Every structure is written in structure tokens, then in C-alpha cells.
Amino acid sequence: MGNFATLQPGGRPLVRFYLAFMLWFVGRAIQAAALVDPNVRKEFNDLPDDFSFSLGAAFNGPQMAIGKDSNGKVKYLGKNSNIVPQVKITIKSMEALFLLFTFRESTPVANSRERMTVEGNLSHACACVRILDIVQVYLLPKPIAKLAIKRYPKWSLKKHTINRLLINLRAIIGF
């Protein structure tokens, strides 16, 4: 008796590292897109002043949060922010988030398979999903982005080139 193995949730360090990296990058890209893309800026403008939302995996999985500061500036709040987000998007498990972030399952399909829960004001959550969709188009090559969202947008050349470059650069450098 007593000689049994215990398994802790949140193993698979490589998966965790990959997801944490992706969340970090998406978070910084949202901050950048809020400056560069007029649609993302408008979505944030329509959200309340102290708005914040988080995205992450349940059971101690990696997390990230985004919020507006007192000047209305959109900031990536990091992975362990202390604020309580107004909208919390949680993916059921690290595996489900991995499916999502390896683009084997689109956001709408993940949602339809009950892999996501949304807490908070639903109409604000809808805005968050629209922001995430736009940012994915900036970050991903077209064939992959097409798997991630419902409809690939018809964008101007400027958006596809200059804005895309700016957002990726800013996300890497972080300003």
C-alpha cells in the first residue's frame, strides 16, 4: 500500500512551452494590431474603458490577458496578470488548445465541439472573438488562416503587406 504513482495535471512541458509562446505572441500581436488596424482599434474603442479579457487553457494551463489602460491604450498584460478579466475565454484543456494552435481545429469548430467556455458579457466576448480572428489573419499565412476562421477577408494590399509586417514586427519587439 502507499506505493503508487501520482500524476499531476499540466505535464508535457514541450506542449506547454509551445502554447505559452503562442499565447504570448498572439497577445503582443493584439496590442500591435490595436495601433495598426482600424477595425481592431474600433472594436477596442467600442469596449468599456477598463476592459480586459483573457485566453487560456483550463486546469492550470497557460494563460494570457489583454486590457485597456486608463488612457484607453491596449496593453498585453502578460501571462500571470493579477487582474480579474471581464471576459474570460477558457479552452477546456491543453490538448484542445494545442489542436487550436496547431490549426487542426478552427475556432468556430472548437467552439461547436464545446471545447471553449466564455465567461462575462457575451456581446463583449463576441468582440474579442472578432479581434482574435483579425489578428490570426495577420499572423498566419493564408492557407493556414483559412483553416482557423470562417471566412477569409478581402483586404487591401496595404493591409496584407505593410500592416502585416508592422504587426509582426511590433509583436516580436514588443512596443
Partner 1 sequence: MHLPEYYEFCCTVKTVAGHDVLESIPELLSKMNSKKTMIITDKGVELAGLVKIVTDAISENIEIGAIESDVPPDSDVRVVNNLSKIYVKNGCDSIIAVGGGSVLDTAKGVNIIVSENSDDLMKFTGAGALKRKLRPLVAVPTTSGTGSEVTSVAVIADPERNKKMAFSSLYLLPDIAVLDSRMTLTLPDFLTSQTAMDALTHAAEAYTCLSKNPVSDIHAINAIKLITENLLNVIKNPTDKEGRLALATAANIAGMSFSNSMVGMVHTLGHSIGAVCHVPHGTCMSILLPYGLEYNMHKTGEYTGELLYPLAGDKVYSKTPKSKRPEKAIEYIRDLNQKLCDATDGRHPVCLKDVLDRDGNMMVPEDKLPEIAKTALGDGSIFYNPEELDFDDILKVLKFAWSGEKLDRSLWIHKNSFKNQESL
Give me the residues that bind partner 1 (CB under 8 A), please.
108-109, 111-115, 117-119, 122-127, 129-130, 149-152, 154
Task: Check residue 27 and give left, alpha or beta (phi > 0: left; psi -120 to 50: alpha).
Answer: alpha
Distance (Å) of CA 37 to CA 11, 20, 157: 37, 25, 13
Considering the complex, what minimum distance in angstroms separates the CB of residue 133 from partner 1? 8
Considering the complex, what minimum distance in angstroms separates the CB of residue 117 from partner 1? 6
Report the candidate in 54, 58, 80 with the shortest Cα–Cα distance to residue 66. 54
Considering the complex, what minimum distance in angstroms separates the CB of residue 124 from partner 1? 8
Numbers of helices and strands, H then E, in the chain: 8, 5
**140: exposed, middle or buried (Cβ count in 10 Å: 0-12, 13-18, 19+):** middle
Specify the residue, 151 or 158, whose C-beta has the smaller distance to partner 1.
151
Specify the residue, 12 or 42, whose C-beta has the smaller distance to partner 1.
42
- Scan for cell 474579442, then name that residue: 128
Specify the residue, 111 or 168, whose C-beta has the smaller distance to partner 1.
111
Specify the residue, 42 or 73, whose C-beta has the smaller distance to partner 1.
42
Specify the residue, 20 or 109, whose C-beta has the smaller distance to partner 1.
109
Considering the complex, what minimum distance in angstroms separates the CB of residue 105 from partner 1? 8
Spatial distance between the Cα atoms of 130 and 150, rounded to a whole number of angstroms? 11
Considering the complex, what minimum distance in angstroms separates the CB of residue 15 from partner 1? 19
